[in-house]
Amino acid sequence: MRLIILDRDGVINEDSDEFIKSPTEWSPIRGSLEAIARLHHAGWRVVVATNQSGIARKLFDLDTLARIHETMHRRVIETGGLIDAVFFCPHGPDDNCSCRKPLPGMFYDIAARLRIDLQGVPAIGDSLRDIQAAQAAGATPLLVKTGKGFGTVSHPDFDPSVPVYNDLYGAVTQLLTN
């Protein structure tokens, strides 16, 4: 069994500066659902790790987040894939929690719950904080240019040794051919 950790907004689904606040606003990025299906058929466990500060900002509640994730799960299943678990941080940027990326707390929680060492586990994100959280937890970060990824590549703190792919489908294709 192999594990992969995916960010949600900007990797699996289209991102929005206004937040994804309802199931109707959740829209998959072209090829992302097929990429998850390919991982599932190749025997990978797919876990999502996502900051959801819209909860702390009172833009949506936990029930709405659950409905958004139900939509995501249903669409992935309809495409032949499976997301094994979704981990999320409901806190805002000023809440001083340890689970909000770029801190690695959510990754440590994944490792503890799945009883797995994250060394070498690919973690795909589109933002600098996704990359930093993966690195801090000992996972192997990969960046996609979808979502905020195109801008992340040119950020002065971006580690140029991190592999960059156009999208999740491209990253998964590379992982499955290695």
Q: Which residues are identified as catalytic?
A: 7, 9
Q: How buried is residue 115: exposed, middle or buried, by Cβ count under 10 Å (0-12/13-18/19+)?
A: exposed
Q: Does the pLDDT value for residue 13 go beyond 80?
A: yes
Across 146-162, average pLDDT: 96
Please give the pLDDT value at position 125.
Answer: 98
Query: Across residues 18-45, what is the average pLDDT?
Result: 97
DSSP state of 49: E
Please enumerate, as own/partner, the contacts of 58-66 that have beta carbons within 8 Å and a separation of 24 or more.
Answer: 59/19, 59/21, 60/19, 60/21, 60/22, 62/90, 64/21, 64/22, 64/23, 65/90
Q: What is the phi/psi pair of residue 149, to 5°?
A: -60, -40
Q: What is the mean pLDDT of residues 159-169?
A: 97
Distance CA 57, CA 37 (A): 33
Superfamily designation of domain 2-177: HAD superfamily/HAD-like (3.40.50.1000)
Average pLDDT in the chain:
97
Show the tokens assigned to 161. Answer: 């040794």
pLDDT at 50: 98
User: Which pLDDT belongs to residue 86?
Assistant: 98
Picking from 140, 108, 131, the residue whose alpha carbon sits closest to that of residue 4 is 140
pLDDT of 155 > 80? The answer is yes
Burial 148-172 (b: 16+ CB within 10 A, else e): bbeebeeeeebeeebebbebbbbbb
Whole-number Å distance between alpha carbons of 64 and 55 = 9
> pTM for the full model?
0.97
Mean pLDDT confidence for 21-26: 97
Cβ 118 vs Cβ 111: under 8 Å: yes
* Residue 115 in this model has a pLDDT that exceeds 90: yes
Q: What percent of the chain has pLDDT over 90?
A: 99
SS3 105: helix
**Tokens matching residue 77:** 């299943």
Using 50, 70 and 90 to split pLDDT, how confident is the model at 164?
Answer: very high
pLDDT exceeds cutoff 90 at 100: yes
pLDDT of residue 178: 79
Residue 1 has pLDDT above 80, yes or no: no
Phi and psi (nearest 5°) for 33? -65, -40
